[in-house]
A and B are shown apart, each in its own frame.
Chain A
Amino acid sequence: LVQFTIPIDNGDALKNAEADSQRTLYPYVTGTSIVAIKYKDGVLMASDMGGSYGSTLRYKNIERVKAIGKHSLLGASGEISDFQEILRYLDELVLNDNMWDDGNSLGPKEVHNYLTRVMYNRRNKFNPLWNTLVLGGVKNGESYLGMVSMIGVSFEDNHVATGFGNHLARPILRDEWRADLSFEDGVKLLEKCMRVLLYRDRSAINKLQIAKITEEGVTVSQPYSLKTFWEFQAFHNPTAGAQGSW
């Protein structure tokens, strides 16, 4: 008896039929928008705590913003399992960084670059990590904020948003963002964006966290809910004067 084994550790989904069954075809549990801005002392990042399973709001306590090393904050939208895998890669990266024990530590620029390479290389193998990542941080007094998409598109900016945030939050940020925002003004600006997302994004839930990173370090707020407004006269009886159904 001769046995054949086909090695699939190359993970090259396009050429190898068996590796094919391993590639991500579509996401299952997904997180929605991340919105982040640079402000006076560093970077602020907001996200809700939802994990949707198609149209079901299945998980309501998912933390989609995590601290990386001492100087960075990573927020992710898209497939949660892929985000968890990325956190494992970064754990390894930070561990190796610490093992050098040379007084140096990875800054946000380096982490962003690493993530860009990971995402782009996976895209080239037709087996993407189905996420849009936001990387923010402060090192040696300099603030950094960047984004990487699942196809490897990578850039830096003063304010970024993923998913629906691109369409609903960025116009607000373009209008109202300033370089010298205080913490209070920054939080209020992010809350304004998150409230609009809550009204208009089907996969948003009313439970969010705002994370802050400064030279001192990272703080992630406790989960909280935003008040919403429904008392427009027009909402009370929209069909009162209707000729028919609308």
Chain B
Amino acid sequence: MDLNLDAPHSMGTTIIGVTYNGGVVLGADSRTSTGMYVANRASDKITQLTDNVYVCRSGSAADSQVVSDYVRYFLHQHTIQLGQPATVKVSANLIRMLAYNNKNMLQTGLIVGGWDKYEGGKIYGIPLGGTVVEQPFAIGGSGSSYLYGFFDQAWKENMTKEEAEQLVVKAVSLAIARDGASGGVVRTVIINSEGVTRNFYPGDKLQLWHEELEPQNSLLDILNAAGPEPMAM
């Protein structure tokens, strides 16, 4: 039950990528932990690879950062040589190349999402081992365990941009409620033909779930507000 500040930084995490009619919405929590200590309560786990392709990172913070950096570097060169924006599929396959060939050493699960003119909005899940799986939606990280049932029920094809983003925010928020390794704020990134939008949903603005209570400034406010005895024996 100790802090163990020497434990590797890991993004317990909840990450999500969802396609909608026109693009993709990527979402993530913001907690990075070292053992049981929250090293960063406002991390940004949705990282840019190119203007039109982003990646959600989970697992080892170090491994996911270094893999993203290599792929950003390769994609930069690839874009110059190609003379036009890289496709989401190429980005995903570059990540796969690193994840698969270093599978014994890496511990990171990634979700690649973006928009290109050939295929539109696409999501690729790349779990441990380096499998690439194109999916209409993908979930990952430790918090995703709590979302399989939720998505089985709530996911629909051809959602609008607003519906898709609301689904992502709701899902990350539900995972944060139950996964100790996820927490903080919900960040989303929406990518479509028009460009990229970043959004930020602080912890106290999210919907309340089962057994969660409305936040107060202090117990003193409750005691002063209520009439008869609010404290029970």
Q: How far is the CB of A80 from chain B (nearest CB, A)?
A: 14
Q: What sequence of 0s and 1s flags, for each residue 9-39 of chain B, a beta carbon within 8 Å of any chain A beta carbon?
A: 0001000000000000000000101001110
Asked if A235 contacts B231 (CB within 8 A), the reply is no
B residues at A contact (CB < 8 Å): 1, 3, 12, 31, 33, 36-38, 41-44, 47-48, 57, 64-66, 68-69, 72, 142, 177-181, 183-185, 198, 200, 202-204, 210-220, 222, 230-233
Asked if A52 contacts B180 (CB within 8 A), the reply is yes
Q: How far is the CB of A233 from chain B (nearest CB, A)?
A: 11
A8 on interface, CB distance cutoff 8 Å: no
A16 on interface, CB distance cutoff 8 Å: no
Q: How far is the CB of B126 from chain A (nearest CB, A)?
A: 16
Q: Among A60, A199, A206, point to the contact of B38 (Cβ < 8 A).
A: A199
Inter-chain CA distance A100–B196, complex, in Å, is: 76
- Give the residues in chain A near B68, CB-CB below 8 Å: 244-245
- Give the residues in chain B near A56, CB-CB below 8 Å: 178-180
- Give the residues in chain B near A104, CB-CB below 8 Å: none
Asked if A220 contacts B232 (CB within 8 A), the reply is yes
- Give the residues in chain A near B57, CB-CB below 8 Å: 245
Q: Which interface class (under 10, 10 to 19, 20 to 34, 35 or more) fits A?
A: 35 or more
Asked if B233 contacts A201 (CB within 8 A), the reply is no
If A164-B3, A234-B42, A245-B68 touch, does A55 touch B12 (CB 8 Å cutoff)? yes
Asked if B231 contacts A201 (CB within 8 A), the reply is no
Q: Give the nearest-CB partner of B35 in chain A.
A: A202
Asked if A219 contacts B233 (CB within 8 A), the reply is yes
Contacts beyond the supplied A202-B12, A245-B69: 7 A-B pairs with Cβ under 8 Å? A200-B38, A202-B180, A202-B181, A222-B231, A224-B222, A230-B42, A235-B200
Asked if A187 contacts B220 (CB within 8 A), the reply is yes
Inter-chain CA distance A246–B31, complex, in Å, is: 14
Inter-chain CA distance A179–B141, complex, in Å, is: 47
A237 on interface, CB distance cutoff 8 Å: yes
Q: Give the nearest-CB partner of B177 in chain A.
A: A57
Q: What sequence of 0s and 1s flags, for each residue 199-225 of chain A, a beta carbon within 8 Å of any chain B beta carbon?
A: 111110011001000000111111111
Inter-chain CA distance A234–B38, complex, in Å, is: 17
Inter-chain CA distance A231–B205, complex, in Å, is: 11
- Give the residues in chain A near B65, CB-CB below 8 Å: 244-246
If A224-B213, A245-B69 touch, does A202 touch B183 (CB 8 Å cutoff)? yes
**Most chain A beta-carbon contacts within 10 A, residue among B12, B220, B231:** B231
A146 on interface, CB distance cutoff 8 Å: no
Inter-chain CA distance A236–B200, complex, in Å, is: 7
If A237-B198, A239-B47 touch, does A200 touch B211 (CB 8 Å cutoff)? no
Q: Give the nearest-CB partner of B46 in chain A.
A: A239
- Give the residues in chain A near B142, CB-CB below 8 Å: 55
Asked if A230 contacts B183 (CB within 8 A), the reply is no
